[in-house]
Homo-oligomer: A and B are copies of this chain.
C-alpha cells in the first residue's frame, strides 16, 4: 500500500512539475542582431518589442557595420564579450560582421538553437535592391540558411536618434504572427517602415527593381589620383507598380517583402537545357 502511495505521489509530483515548468520550457528562444551595433536605439527598441514573446539573446556587432552584406571578412581573430544581463535578456557584443555575429551565436554561444532570429531595427531602409547590401538582412539570410525563421526590421530614416520606439507594437505584432504561422524553410521577412507619422497598414510586397545613381562624389586631391566618396540616390525603376515594397513605403504602408535564400532561377535552368553546352 505504501509503495502504491509512493508511486501515486511520484506521478502527482511529475504532473505538477510538467504543468508548472512547461510554459518556461516552451518559451521561445529569440536571437537578435543588427548592423548598427549593440548600442543602437533600434536594437534597444527591438529587444523591447520581442522580450515578452520569449527569452532574448543578443549578439550584435561592437560598432557600426552598415552595408556589410553577408561579408565574412576578418583578418584577425573574432571575439565576443558580455555586455549585460537582465530578466530574460542577455546582451553580447561581437567584433565580427553581422553574419559572423549570427554564426558565433549559433556555433559557440547559445545553449540551444533559437526558435527565431530578428534583426534591426535598422536606421535606414533596406527595401528593394538594398536587400543585397544590408547587414541587417544579412542577419536574416544567415538564419534562414540554417532553416531558422527570421525577420529583418528597418526604418526609412538614417538618423541614429530617429523615433524607433513607436515601432515597438508593430514589431511585436509581426513577430507574433511569425511565431504563430512559421515560415517556409529558407525564407525570411524583410520588413521596412516608411518614415511617416501614420501608417496606412501593412502590405506584403515583392522587391522593387531600383537603381542607385550618382554613386560617387569626387574627392579631389592636389597630388592627383582618382578619389571618390560613396554617395548616391535610389531611383525606383517601377514607380507605378502597386505590388512593390517601394510603392508601399511611398504610400505610407509598412512593407513586408518575403525573401528566399535559394536564389536559383529555375525557369532558366529549364531554358538552358536547350543551350548547346
Listed in ascending order, the chain A residues whose CB lies under 8 Å from chain B are: 65-74, 77-81, 99-100, 103-104, 107-108, 129, 131-133, 138, 141, 145-146, 173-174, 177, 181, 183-184, 186-187, 202, 204-207, 209, 211-212, 214-216, 219, 225-230, 256-269, 272-273, 275-277
The main secondary structure of chain A at its interface with chain B is: mixed
Q: A69-B70, A71-B69, A272-B256 are in contact. Are A265 and B184 (CB under 8 A)?
A: yes
Sort A-B residue pairs by CB-CB distance and give the 6 closest, nearest first.
A258-B268, A69-B70, A69-B69, A258-B265, A77-B227, A71-B71
The reply to whether B73 and A264 contact each other, CB–CB distance below 8 Å, is no
CB-defined contacts of A80 to chain B, threshold 8 Å: 226
Copies in the complex: 2
The reply to whether B269 and A230 contact each other, CB–CB distance below 8 Å, is no
CB-defined contacts of A107 to chain B, threshold 8 Å: 214-216
The reply to whether B205 and A275 contact each other, CB–CB distance below 8 Å, is no
Please name the residue on chain B nearest to A243 by beta carbon. B269
